[in-house]
Structure 1
Amino acid sequence: MREIHPEVQLVFRAQRELQHRIAEVRERADGIVARRPSPSGLVIPEVDCLGRLTDLYLAPGTCARFDNQGLAADIMAAIIESTADAKRQFDIAMNDPANLPRPLEELVQEWRAETRPDQQLPNSGKAEQ
């Protein structure tokens, strides 16, 4: 069986590193949830980092307290505020310098340094005669 060329191994290693970084960003984004109450305090929506409504809490008696337009306005105000809060949380989480990974170029340079310089490179062509 032929050996894999060290440069190809570096590419595979970089690919795995990028996959891990993408997974970390997704996990960070999935953890963002905003719950901001409405002006009346009777409605609390739950919004994720993409601005999707994931849950909606209405305090008991809320529907009886408002007419249709008033209830819709209260719900929409809470959703708008929660969406803005989720966006703020997302911006902070994604732009925090503590969360920035090391540049991939630095990692590749380290990985190259780990390979032995005296190592014979695999030959993928015809055997020399």
Structure 2
Amino acid sequence: MSDIHPDVQAALDAARDLRHRIADLRERINGIRARRPSPSGAIVPEVDAMGRLTGLYLAPGTTSRFGNNELIAEIMAAIQESTADAGRQYKVLMDTDPWPEPAAAQPVTSESS
């Protein structure tokens, strides 16, 4: 027989479950990527859930097709749209309860002697 009190064991089990849930949520957040094209479709950035630019694709000939200001506008529009999309994905993930409480969960009560 174990020397650990049942309440302590329950707390340890709950802490382990919480660590696994947090790790799963972090993995899901780290997996968020948004790739929204620029208005012309020639530029596609990749943005993560934290709004960091992780990649940038420029179609062949893009830099010669646009002037400096136009190129900046295309890149910025695509990054802004991708950032907004990544933010929406993050919000959906965080607003959803990925681990609903079991229906059979009963509150713990103490009995008097």
Tell me which protein shows more helix as a share of its residues. 1
Q: Which of the two has higher C-alpha Rg?
A: 1
CA RMSD in angstroms comes to 2.0
- Secondary structure of the corresponding residue to residue 50 of structure 2: coil
> How far off its partner does 1:28 sit?
1.7
What corresponds to 1:48 in structure 2? Answer: 48
What corresponds to 2:93 in structure 1? Answer: 93
Runs of 4+ in 1 over 4 A off after TM superposition: none
> How far off its partner does 1:93 sit?
2.1
Q: Which moved more, 1:65-74 or 1:40-49?
A: 65-74
Gaps of 5+ in 1: 113-129
1:5 to 2:5 alignment:
yes
State the TM-score, normalized to the length of structure 2.
Answer: 0.82
1:2-47 Cα distance to aligned partner (Å, 9 max, x none)? 8122222111111101101101211221221110000111000001
Give the distance between the partners of 1:75 and 1:102, measured in 2 at CA.
44
1:64 to 2:77 alignment:
no
Gaps of 5+ in 2: 109-113
Aligned length: 105
Give the distance between the partners of 2:36 and 2:82, measured in 1 at CA.
5
Of structures 1 and 2, the one scoring higher in RCO (CA 8 A, sep 6+) is: 1
